[in-house]
Chain A
Amino acid sequence: MPAIKSLEELKRVREEALQKKQMKAVAGNVQVIVAMGTCGIAAGARDTMKSVLNFIETNNLSGVSVTQTGCMGMCEQEPILQVVIGENSKVTYGKVNAEVAAQIMKQHVQNGTPVKDYVLPI
């Protein structure tokens, strides 16, 4: 079975994505970071990640980079998610399940307003 569905299809998808990306130069870089230490994963960080990726896909959100970090020593607050928009300082959220992640993506990443109820005081 070929590992990649079709390289032709990928070429086409890439061209389209390139055009859309140019049209939609986001104001500042947006970075979403999911903590994926053992504690994070055990608390459901993979579902959080899945929800973030799902939001990007279904809302056609261009210019967001998604990365990971390890355990931050606040295991009781996992899953932890961080958002950095442009030059603004990093906002750290705790207890971010899939639902909360979608809320953060909509309210903070897309519209620029942090979701106060889940922000960790650090």
Chain B
Amino acid sequence: MREISLHLLDIAENSVAAQSRNICIEIHEDHKNDLLTVRVTDDGRGMSEETAKQVLDPFYTTRTTRKVGLGIPLLKLAAEMAEGGLSLVTESGKGTKVEAHFRNSHIDRMPLGDVAVTFLTLLISYPHIHWVFDYRITDHNGESYEYNFDDTELKVELGDMPMTEPDILKFVRSMFEEGIEALVRQTVI
């Protein structure tokens, strides 16, 4: 993986596979504390304590098509390379929260990459899931700016109109692109 936003896509796929109904992705770029934190929270089937320990091991996976599961170990490695780490909070039947933090200015911190495409891909591919995306930037003075997207309003308005209809797709894509661009633009770092 070359971007943190690709890891986020990958971890969110786990949440989908765990039959979540609500998935929240948070990104917090904190320049005051030189910290980048990303978090994926779901209300899927969760894991037992024993399984939670195993998912950090690349040779554990729930899939049957191959024998290694690299998603979480790869993110953990990426975080540790940038003086950060990964934490996993989960409860069987309740859901899972995966959080990774990085020292933001670390030379080995992967770029965040194209957050808008990650959001778009998830929203379009899994319309039955309730998505919440939150991207927050805190500048050196501790001032915070935020882009928050909750798909509820959008879906009520769309009804049964698929998001892959070209006009709708254009609307949703530019909504993410413009929202994130505006967030980055208004934050002076």
A61 touches B65 (CB 8 A): no
With an 8 Å Cβ cutoff, the count of chain B residues facing the other chain is 48
B182 touches A1 (CB 8 A): yes
Interface string of B47-90 (1 = CB under 8 A from A): 00000000000000001011001110010000000000000000
Interface string of A74-98 (1 = CB under 8 A from B): 0100000000000000000000000
Interface 9-residue window, one of A6-14, A99-107, A110-118: A6-14
A7 touches B71 (CB 8 A): no
A36 touches B63 (CB 8 A): no
A13 touches B153 (CB 8 A): no
Cβ-closest chain B residue relative to A19: B167
Closest beta carbon of chain A to B153's beta carbon, Å: 6
A9 touches B13 (CB 8 A): no
CA distance A71 to B174 in the complex (A): 29
Within 8 A of A (CB), among B92-128: 114, 117-118, 120-121, 124-126
Q: Give every chain B residue within 8 A of A38 (Cβ-Cβ).
A: 10, 13, 69-71, 74
Q: Pick the residue among A1, A10, A11, A41 that contacts B146 (CB under 8 A).
A: A1
A66 touches B170 (CB 8 A): no
**Given A1-B183, A60-B166, A7 and B157 contact (CB-CB distance below 8 Å):** yes
Whether, in the assembled complex, A70 has its beta carbon less than 8 Å from a beta carbon of chain B, the answer is yes
Whether, in the assembled complex, A119 has its beta carbon less than 8 Å from a beta carbon of chain B, the answer is no
A4 touches B153 (CB 8 A): yes
B161 touches A14 (CB 8 A): yes
A3 touches B179 (CB 8 A): yes
B125 touches A75 (CB 8 A): no
CA distance A4 to B147 in the complex (A): 10
Sample of 30 A–B contacts (CB below 8 Å) = A1-B147, A1-B148, A3-B150, A4-B154, A5-B179, A7-B157, A9-B171, A10-B157, A13-B168, A14-B157, A14-B161, A14-B168, A17-B166, A39-B66, A41-B9, A41-B10, A42-B6, A42-B70, A46-B6, A46-B9, A46-B114, A56-B164, A57-B170, A57-B173, A60-B166, A61-B166, A65-B164, A66-B164, A67-B125, A73-B66
